[in-house]
Copies of this chain bind each other. A is one copy, B any other.
Amino acid sequence: MDPVRLRDLARQLGAELVGDGDLLVTGVAGLEHAGPGDITFLAARERIEQLAGCPAAAVIVGPGLEADRPALRVADPYAAFSLLLSRLEMDPDRVFPPGIHPTAVVDPTADVARAVAIGPYCVIGAGAVVGEGTRLGAHVVLGPEVTVGRDGFLHAGVCIREKCRVGDRVILHSHCVVGSDGFGYRPGPAGLVKIPQVGIVVLEDDVELGAGTCVDRATVGQTVIGRGTKLDNLVQVGHNVVIGAHCAISAQTGISGSCKLGSGVTMGGQVGLADHLTIGDGVKVGAKSGLHRDTPAGSEVFGYPALDAREAFRVASALRKLPDLLRTVARLERLVGETHESREEAPE
């Protein structure tokens, strides 16, 4: 990042300048990683103690927060910090050079004319459509009749299989696979027989899928990822799953077929859902949990098998006392045995 004076940052962010406007800022970092010369931010009042130990040269603060060093006061510090970060991103034209690369194999019936960038060695199938403003990196493969909306970013190596539909402003990270066959077999005389997976995947607007994430096509019908939902890396979504809007699902989580998630569901990493579950709006699932039952809206669950979070913590805490409990009960058995014997021996 080029060094910039604090007063200039204030102007760029529309912030109120507090303190020395000539201060030179040379970097941007979150509170825990910030060094001298950096500007950082405080998102909420309760973190002002952490600021004391932080060597950052300047800080972005919210209304009503006193800073102990040169600062920029804004309505939303987190958003202002994000805006600064976006200035440090590599120019998209450098990551995804504009134009349709001459090596891209584009079916004559595909429509990619409005895309900003189709990278080297992309393969775009018959009848596929890529919307205005969208950028494809190298080696992206769109199968026949795939549609991708506007202003999207498909990173190198993404594969989207035939007939799947991707909305606007969708971001797909490297090597994710959309529309692979669901894991469907029926028993046959000579072993498992594959059930054709003839449905599709629909990714609604503003969805983001992490690197290596896999979303399977439906057996029939649609596997749906709802508007604004974000999946981390190496997540697995089985056939006929329907995920609502604005969910956040962390890395390596797996959602078995035909699950139905409401909106605003959040899951930690390495969570597993059995098939055919209904998970209500706003459910929060702790990392590594295993869900095998429907979960009502608003629940917080944790564990394997997953329980309501408060019960799960009680159980986990009790579990550590179990070895001692065994010894205590053994001792009680002896004592009660003696009492019982002595009562039998010595009549009242």
Please indicate the chain B residues that have their CB under 8 angstroms from the CB of A240 in the complex.
Answer: 33
Please indicate the chain B residues that have their CB under 8 angstroms from the CB of A269 in the complex.
Answer: 236, 254, 256, 272
A138 vs B88: C-alpha distance when bound (angstroms): 31
Return the contact of A123 from the options B28, B120, B268, B314 (Cβ within 8 A).
Answer: B120
Query: Considering only CB atoms, which chain B residue lies closest to A316 in the complex?
Result: B305
Contact indicator per residue, chain A 212-242, by CB within 8 Å of chain B (1) or not (0): 1010100111000001101011101010100
- B328 x A319 contact (CB < 8 A): no
- What's the tally of chain A residues with a CB closer than 8 Å to chain B? 122
The SS class assigned to the A binding surface is: loop
- A219 x B85 contact (CB < 8 A): yes
Stoichiometry, copies per complex: 3
A33 vs B221: C-alpha distance when bound (angstroms): 8
Contact indicator per residue, chain A 190-208, by CB within 8 Å of chain B (1) or not (0): 1111111110000000101
A191 vs B219: C-alpha distance when bound (angstroms): 30
Centre residue among A191, A208, A256, A329 by max chain B CB count within 10 A: A191
Query: A121-B139, A254-B270, A307-B320 known; A173 and B181 CB under 8 Å?
Result: yes
Please indicate the chain B residues that have their CB under 8 angstroms from the CB of A210 in the complex.
Answer: 180-181, 183, 214
Centre residue among A33, A236, A340 by max chain B CB count within 10 A: A236
Please indicate the chain B residues that have their CB under 8 angstroms from the CB of A73 in the complex.
Answer: none
When A and B form their complex, which 10 residue pairs have the shortest distance between CB atoms, in order from nearest? A191-B228, A85-B196, A180-B211, A88-B198, A177-B211, A123-B138, A318-B322, A183-B232, A159-B174, A141-B156
Q: Would you list 29 pairs from A and B whose C-beta atoms are within 8 A, ordered by A residue?
A: A33-B220, A90-B144, A90-B163, A95-B143, A95-B161, A120-B123, A121-B139, A123-B139, A157-B157, A171-B194, A175-B175, A175-B177, A181-B210, A183-B210, A192-B248, A214-B234, A216-B233, A236-B251, A238-B251, A270-B270, A288-B304, A314-B323, A318-B323, A322-B322, A325-B329, A328-B333, A329-B329, A332-B333, A335-B340
